[in-house]
Amino acid sequence: MDRATRFAAIQYLYHVMVTHETVTIDSTTAFMKRCENMRGTPEDVNKLVYGVIEKSHIIEPCIERHLSPNWRFERLGMVLKAILKLSSFEIIFLKSTDKALIINQYLEIAKAFNHKGEVGFLNYIMDNVSL
Confidence (pLDDT) at 61: 94
CA 53 to CA 9: how far, in whole Å? Answer: 12
CA 111 to CA 89: how far, in whole Å? Answer: 20
Give the closest residue to 115 by CA, choosing from 83, 87, 90.
83
> What mean pLDDT do residues 109-126 have?
87
Q: Which pTM was predicted? A: 0.92
Task: List the helix and strand counts (H, then E) for the chain.
Answer: 7, 0
Res 25 pLDDT > 80? yes
69 C-beta neighbours (distance < 10 Å), count: 5
pLDDT per residue over 64-112, tens digit each? Answer: 999 988 888 888 899 999 999 999 999 999 987 789 999 999 999 999 8
Q: Is 9 exposed, middle or buried (0-12, 13-18, 19+ CB in 10 A)?
A: buried
pLDDT per residue over 47-56, tens digit each? Answer: 999 999 999 9
Q: Is 57 exposed, middle or buried (0-12, 13-18, 19+ CB in 10 A)?
A: exposed
Confidence (pLDDT) at 74: 86
In one-letter notation, the amino acid at residue 44 is D
What structural domains and CATH numbers belong to the chain?
Answer: 3-129 (1.10.940.10)
100 C-beta neighbours (distance < 10 Å), count: 11
In one-letter notation, the amino acid at residue 91 is I
